[in-house]
Amino acid sequence: MADQAMATRKAPLDGLRGGSPAATVIPAAPASRVALRASAEAVSALSAALGVTLPVRPKSSASTGKRHVLWLGPDEWLVIDEDGADLMSAAASSNALHSAVDVSHRNTAVIVSGPGAEVAINSGCPQDLSLAVFPVGACSRTTFGKAEIVLFRAAEDTFRVEFWRSFSPFVFGLLSEGAVDAAH
Amino acid sequence: MLLIYCPYCEEERAELEFRNGGDAHIARPTNMAEISDEEFEAYFFLRENPKGVIFERWRHIHGCGRFFNAARDTVSDRFITTYKAGEPKPVLDAEPKTPATVETYEALEGAAQ
């Protein structure tokens, strides 16, 4: 019998490194992600089930350890678990009415880090990323060039940029160019 | 670039994040099967296309994803106010004044003659 071919999963930006001394652009480690939609009545049950209090203010996020919940809209959140935990069954255990879609492999992310991180992202993103307007923990869905991204400020000089994996060459390329420009 | 105030995100965002959704406050007839073709045409196709203030639906598609309504001046492109979907038409204080510097078609044609 012929040898069976084994498919190995390949991350979209595997092994790539970009950026400049001002801002490094590095693909984030694989994580599990859930696009979560629920009405206001289900928020407390889902918060308890996920172990993170779902934020209800615009542009805000909440984190417990390596699990982050980002506010995207009045009834929509992006849940990211950097440890790859099973978020779907966690959400299902809430017994509250909600919609959860596993988007772990639809999305990919890069970490933009360094003193020029704001400038690098602003090369394609129209939002004001100054600390007064976009503080640590702030998050927002927005645009980057012609792609849609979700921005999350993990630290003063570190952003997590989430986007669809089909856009990854475009976003990574433009971010790297922006990071090089930020060094000048 | 225009900055548009999103009533759900509670801040101004760049117009790149938004999409226009046509006229606001168009009520869908509840007796759709019974109305005449003319009445359907009036509901479905006919729009005012005013020169001046227009009430429109906008969607913050690359942000919170929500539809909301906006009052906009079609001459100057200025957003007068925005409000959440489902809320009644706001009473606008006065007819917004179009700044004299706005180059309308009529003004340019007038100068050419």
* pLDDT tens digits for range B8-38: 999 999 999 999 999 999 999 999 999 999 9
Q: How far is B10 from chain A (nearest CA, A)?
A: 7
Among the listed residues A127, A122, A121, the one whose alpha carbon sits nearest the alpha carbon of residue A141:
A127
The SS3 of residue A72 is strand
- Amino acid found at A58: P
Mean pLDDT across the stretch A112-134?
Answer: 96
- Read off the pTM: 0.87
Q: Which residues of B touch A (CB under 8 A)?
A: 1, 8-11, 13-14, 16-17, 62-66
CATH architecture under which domain B3-112 falls: 2-Layer Sandwich (3.30)
Among the listed residues A147, A75, A77, the one whose alpha carbon sits nearest the alpha carbon of residue A110:
A147
Mean pLDDT across the stretch A108-112?
Answer: 96
Distance CA B90, CA A7 (A): 59
* CA B59 and chain centroid, separation: 11
Among the listed residues B52, B50, B89, the one whose alpha carbon sits nearest the alpha carbon of residue B70:
B89
Question: Helix count (H) and strand count (E) of chain B?
Answer: 2, 6
Closest partner residue to B62 among A59, A74, A141, by Cβ?
Answer: A141
With a cut of 50, list the residues of chain B below it in pLDDT: 113
The answer to whether residue A22 scores a pLDDT higher than 80 is yes
Mean pLDDT across the stretch A4-16?
Answer: 87
pLDDT at residue number B50? 94
Among the listed residues A175, A159, A132, the one whose alpha carbon sits nearest the alpha carbon of residue A68:
A159
Q: What is the mean pLDDT of chain A?
A: 95
Name the burial class of residue B96, with classes exposed (0-12), middle (13-18) and buried (19+) by CB atoms within 10 angstroms of its CB: middle
State pLDDT tens for residues A53-69. 999 999 999 999 999 99
Closest partner residue to B9 among A59, A143, A148, by Cβ?
Answer: A59
Contact present, B58 and B6 (Cβ < 8 Å): no
pLDDT at residue number A4? 85
Taking the domains of chain B in order of start, what are their residue ranges?
3-112
Contact A74 B66 (CB under 8 A): yes
* CA A180 and chain centroid, separation: 22
Give A10's pLDDT tier (boundaries 50, 70, 90): confident
CATH number of this structure's domain A18-182: 3.30.1360.120
Distance CA A78, CA A70 (A): 5
Q: How far is B6 from chain A (nearest CA, A)?
A: 11
The answer to whether residue A160 scores a pLDDT higher than 70 is yes
pLDDT at residue number B105? 64
pLDDT at residue number A20? 92
pLDDT at residue number B101? 59
ipTM computed for the complex: 0.88
DSSP secondary structure code for residue A41 in this structure: G
Name the burial class of residue B98, with classes exposed (0-12), middle (13-18) and buried (19+) by CB atoms within 10 angstroms of its CB: middle
Residue in chain B closest to A71 (alpha carbons) equals: B64
Residue partners of A109: CB distance under 8 A and separation at least 6: A27, A28, A31, A160, A161, A162, A163
Beta bridge partners of B40: none
Contact B62 A142 (CB under 8 A): yes
Q: Given the DSSP bridges, would you call strands A67-73 and A76-81 parallel, antiparallel or unpaired? A: antiparallel
Closest partner residue to B14 among A72, A74, A126, by Cβ?
Answer: A126
Residue partners of A21: CB distance under 8 A and separation at least 6: A114, A183
Please give the interface size between A and B, counted as residue pairs whose CB atoms are below 8 Å apart.
40
- A72 neighbourhood in chain B, CB within 8 Å: 64-65
The SS3 of residue A62 is strand
Mean pLDDT across the stretch A133-144?
Answer: 97
Residue in chain B closest to A134 (alpha carbons) equals: B11
- Amino acid found at B98: T
Give chain A's length.
Answer: 184
State pLDDT tens for residues A168-184. 999 999 999 999 999 88
